[in-house]
Amino acid sequence: MSDSWLDHIPSHERQRILRRLRSPEEYQKLRERVKGPEDLEREMEKNERMAELAFAMETEPKLKAALTEQIKEDVKEHGVDAVLDTELPSDARVSFEAGNFAVTIEANKDTQEDQLMVVPEGNVQEAIPLKPAFSEQYLGQFVAGSSDA
Protein backbone atom coordinates (compact mmCIF):
# COMPACT_ATOMS: atom_id res chain seq x y z
CA MET A 1 0.00 0.00 0.00
CA SER A 2 1.42 3.39 -0.93
CA ASP A 3 1.60 6.28 1.46
CA SER A 4 -0.25 9.33 0.27
CA TRP A 5 0.88 12.78 1.35
CA LEU A 6 -2.60 13.14 2.86
CA ASP A 7 -1.78 10.32 5.29
CA HIS A 8 0.97 12.40 6.90
CA ILE A 9 -1.10 15.42 7.94
CA PRO A 10 -3.60 15.83 10.80
CA SER A 11 -7.17 14.74 10.13
CA HIS A 12 -8.69 18.24 10.46
CA GLU A 13 -6.24 19.55 7.82
CA ARG A 14 -6.96 16.54 5.63
CA GLN A 15 -10.71 17.25 5.79
CA ARG A 16 -10.17 20.92 4.94
CA ILE A 17 -8.03 20.07 1.91
CA LEU A 18 -10.47 17.45 0.66
CA ARG A 19 -13.40 19.88 1.07
CA ARG A 20 -11.54 22.55 -0.88
CA LEU A 21 -10.62 20.12 -3.65
CA ARG A 22 -14.27 19.12 -4.01
CA SER A 23 -15.50 22.70 -4.29
CA PRO A 24 -17.10 23.71 -7.60
CA GLU A 25 -14.60 26.57 -8.04
CA GLU A 26 -11.59 24.28 -7.73
CA TYR A 27 -13.19 21.75 -10.05
CA GLN A 28 -13.80 24.50 -12.63
CA LYS A 29 -10.18 25.64 -12.39
CA LEU A 30 -9.04 22.07 -12.94
CA ARG A 31 -11.38 21.69 -15.94
CA GLU A 32 -10.00 24.88 -17.50
CA ARG A 33 -6.47 23.50 -17.36
CA VAL A 34 -7.45 20.20 -18.99
CA LYS A 35 -7.25 20.31 -22.77
CA GLY A 36 -9.43 18.28 -25.06
CA PRO A 37 -8.34 16.60 -28.29
CA GLU A 38 -9.51 19.55 -30.40
CA ASP A 39 -7.52 22.02 -28.30
CA LEU A 40 -4.42 19.86 -28.51
CA GLU A 41 -4.79 19.47 -32.26
CA ARG A 42 -5.11 23.27 -32.75
CA GLU A 43 -2.12 23.85 -30.50
CA MET A 44 -0.03 21.30 -32.39
CA GLU A 45 -0.95 22.85 -35.74
CA LYS A 46 -0.03 26.32 -34.50
CA ASN A 47 3.28 25.07 -33.09
CA GLU A 48 4.03 23.32 -36.38
CA ARG A 49 3.34 26.49 -38.37
CA MET A 50 5.43 28.53 -35.93
CA ALA A 51 8.32 26.07 -36.30
CA GLU A 52 8.04 26.26 -40.10
CA LEU A 53 8.17 30.06 -39.95
CA ALA A 54 11.15 30.01 -37.58
CA PHE A 55 13.01 27.63 -39.91
CA ALA A 56 12.11 29.73 -42.96
CA MET A 57 13.28 32.90 -41.23
CA GLU A 58 16.62 31.26 -40.46
CA THR A 59 17.18 29.77 -43.91
CA GLU A 60 15.60 32.43 -46.15
CA PRO A 61 16.81 35.97 -45.40
CA LYS A 62 14.39 37.34 -48.02
CA LEU A 63 11.43 36.01 -46.05
CA LYS A 64 12.66 37.60 -42.83
CA ALA A 65 13.19 40.91 -44.67
CA ALA A 66 9.69 40.68 -46.18
CA LEU A 67 8.20 40.01 -42.74
CA THR A 68 10.05 43.02 -41.34
CA GLU A 69 8.76 45.20 -44.19
CA GLN A 70 5.20 43.98 -43.61
CA ILE A 71 5.44 44.90 -39.93
CA LYS A 72 6.80 48.34 -40.86
CA GLU A 73 3.85 48.89 -43.23
CA ASP A 74 1.35 47.80 -40.58
CA VAL A 75 2.94 50.14 -38.04
CA LYS A 76 2.60 53.04 -40.51
CA GLU A 77 -0.99 52.09 -41.33
CA HIS A 78 -2.33 51.10 -37.88
CA GLY A 79 0.13 52.64 -35.42
CA VAL A 80 2.54 51.14 -32.91
CA ASP A 81 -0.07 50.52 -30.21
CA ALA A 82 -2.27 48.52 -32.58
CA VAL A 83 0.58 46.21 -33.64
CA LEU A 84 2.44 45.65 -30.36
CA ASP A 85 0.96 43.86 -27.38
CA THR A 86 2.81 45.89 -24.72
CA GLU A 87 3.83 49.51 -24.21
CA LEU A 88 7.28 50.58 -25.40
CA PRO A 89 9.64 52.99 -23.61
CA SER A 90 9.99 56.28 -25.51
CA ASP A 91 13.51 55.64 -26.88
CA ALA A 92 12.57 52.15 -28.05
CA ARG A 93 9.36 53.51 -29.57
CA VAL A 94 11.29 56.01 -31.69
CA SER A 95 13.66 53.26 -32.82
CA PHE A 96 10.76 50.92 -33.60
CA GLU A 97 8.82 53.55 -35.55
CA ALA A 98 11.97 54.27 -37.58
CA GLY A 99 12.07 50.59 -38.57
CA ASN A 100 15.14 49.67 -36.50
CA PHE A 101 14.11 46.32 -35.09
CA ALA A 102 14.67 42.61 -35.50
CA VAL A 103 11.94 39.98 -35.79
CA THR A 104 12.27 36.77 -33.76
CA ILE A 105 10.15 33.90 -32.55
CA GLU A 106 10.36 33.42 -28.79
CA ALA A 107 8.22 32.21 -25.94
CA ASN A 108 5.99 34.96 -24.57
CA LYS A 109 6.86 35.48 -20.90
CA ASP A 110 3.16 35.76 -19.95
CA THR A 111 1.63 32.88 -21.91
CA GLN A 112 4.75 30.69 -22.36
CA GLU A 113 3.72 30.08 -25.98
CA ASP A 114 5.94 30.73 -29.00
CA GLN A 115 5.02 34.00 -30.65
CA LEU A 116 6.37 36.51 -33.14
CA MET A 117 8.36 39.16 -31.28
CA VAL A 118 10.22 42.32 -32.23
CA VAL A 119 13.43 43.53 -30.60
CA PRO A 120 13.92 47.28 -31.08
CA GLU A 121 17.49 48.48 -31.43
CA GLY A 122 18.83 50.49 -28.53
CA ASN A 123 18.81 49.94 -24.78
CA VAL A 124 15.82 47.59 -24.78
CA GLN A 125 17.06 44.05 -24.25
CA GLU A 126 13.78 42.17 -24.20
CA ALA A 127 11.57 41.11 -27.07
CA ILE A 128 8.18 42.79 -27.40
CA PRO A 129 5.29 40.52 -28.50
CA LEU A 130 3.08 41.42 -31.41
CA LYS A 131 -0.68 41.40 -30.90
CA PRO A 132 -2.10 37.90 -31.47
CA ALA A 133 -4.20 39.04 -34.45
CA PHE A 134 -1.14 40.38 -36.29
CA SER A 135 0.96 37.40 -35.25
CA GLU A 136 -1.64 34.98 -36.68
CA GLN A 137 -1.96 37.07 -39.85
CA TYR A 138 1.81 37.02 -40.46
CA LEU A 139 2.02 33.35 -39.59
CA GLY A 140 -0.64 32.43 -42.14
CA GLN A 141 0.70 34.79 -44.77
CA PHE A 142 4.38 33.87 -44.57
CA VAL A 143 4.07 30.13 -43.91
CA ALA A 144 1.73 29.78 -46.88
CA GLY A 145 4.05 31.97 -48.96
CA SER A 146 7.19 30.02 -48.03
CA SER A 147 5.65 26.62 -48.84
CA ASP A 148 4.64 27.82 -52.32
CA ALA A 149 8.20 28.85 -53.22
Per-residue confidence (pLDDT) for residue 55, from 0 to 100: 92
Tell whether the model's pLDDT for residue 26 goes beyond 80: no
Distance of CA 96 to the CA centre of its chain: 20
Q: What mean pLDDT do residues 132-142 have?
A: 85
The set of residues, in sequence order, having a beta carbon less than 8 Å from that of 115 and lying 6+ positions away, is: 50, 105, 106, 107, 108, 129, 130, 132, 135
pTM: 0.67
Tell whether the model's pLDDT for residue 80 goes beyond 70: yes
Report d(CA 146, CA 53) in Å as an integer.
8
CA distances from 117 to 2, 8, 74, 105 (A): 47, 47, 15, 6
Residues 91 and 123 sit within 8 Å (Cβ to Cβ): yes
Rounded (5°) CA angle 139-41-143: 20
Q: Which residues of 3-26 are buried (b: 16+ CB within 10 A; e: fewer)?
A: eeeeeeeeeeeeeeeeeeeeeeee
Report d(CA 69, CA 65) in Å as an integer.
6
pLDDT digits (tens, 9 = 90+) for 109-123: 877 788 888 888 766
